[in-house]
């Protein structure tokens, strides 16, 4: 099970990659493996406003359906339309071709991109999955 060191993570088993003012979001390898084969991903609409910690979509696998949470506040700028035809990308490449959506994070009062509080480092996330068994 891989946990790339350069990414941020959430307790909801999502990963966040920050590039300038844009956050790319997907679910972790651990999440994909726990869910089993992903068969459908419902993503937020491009242009939609999302709020950190709030559900913004759903992930359906063979055995279950789970909420997809936005890890950040902002506006959705892009969603991974490939997942519509090939939701299995989430299992095959959770950190690559299986990415889910991108969010523009509004600049903070000083013009800097403010990371939402509560994101986990790779080491912290790894610890979380270990304690979850």
Partner 1 sequence: MTEFAGWLMPLRYGSETAEHNAVRSAAALFDLSHMGEIAVTGPGAAEALDYAVCGWPSSLAPGRARYTMLCAPDGGILDDLVVYRQADDRFLVVANAANTAVVLGELQRRCAGAVVEDETEATGLIAIQGPNAAGLLSRVTDLPLDEMRYYAGAYGTVGGCPAWVARTGYTGEDGFEIFCAAGDAERVWASLEEAAKREGTSLPPAGLAARDTLRLEAGMPLYGNELGPDVTPYEAGLGRVVRLDKPGDFVGREALAARAAEGPRRTLIGLIGRSRRIPRHGYAVLSESGEVGVVTSGAPSPTLGTPIAMAYVRAGATGPFGVDVRGNKEPAEVTELPFYDRRKQR
In the complex, the residues that contact partner 1 under the rule CB under 8 A are: 36-37, 39-40, 58, 60, 62-63, 65, 91
> In terms of CB distance, is 17 or 39 closer to partner 1?
39
With residues binned 3-state (H G I as helix, E B as strand, rest as coil), the percentages for the chain, rounded to 5, are 20, 35, 45
Q: CB of 42: closest distance to partner 1 in angstroms? A: 8
Q: How many residues belong to the chain?
A: 133
> In terms of CB distance, is 60 or 78 closer to partner 1?
60
> In terms of CB distance, is 29 or 72 closer to partner 1?
29
Measured CA to CA, the distance from residue 55 to residue 36 in angstroms comes to 20
3-state secondary structure 84-100: HHCCCHHHHCCCCCCCC
Q: Which residues lie closer than 8 Å to 96 by C-beta, 6 or more apart?
A: none
* Cα separations in angstroms, 20 against 24, 52, 94: 11, 18, 22
Q: CB of 24: closest distance to partner 1 in angstroms? A: 24
Q: CB of 37: closest distance to partner 1 in angstroms? A: 5
Q: CB of 78: closest distance to partner 1 in angstroms? A: 21
> In terms of CB distance, is 44 or 74 closer to partner 1?
44
């Amino acid at each position: 099970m891989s946990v790339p060191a350069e990414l941020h993570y959430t307790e909801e088993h999502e990963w966040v990659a920050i590039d300038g003012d844009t956050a790319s979001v997907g679910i972790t390898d651990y999440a994909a493996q726990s869910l089993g084969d992903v068969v459908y991903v419902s993503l937020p609409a491009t242009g939609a406003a999302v709020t950190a910690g709030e559900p913004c979509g759903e992930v359906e696998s063979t055995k279950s359906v789970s909420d997809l949470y936005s890890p950040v506040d902002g506006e959705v700028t892009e969603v991974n339309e490939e997942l519509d035809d090939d939701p299995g990308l989430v299992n095959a490449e959770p950190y690559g071709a299986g990415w889910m959506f991108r969010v523009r994070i509004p600049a903070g009062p000083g013009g800097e991109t403010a990371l939402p509080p509560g994101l986990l480092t790779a080491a912290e996330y790894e610890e979380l999955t270990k304690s979850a068994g």
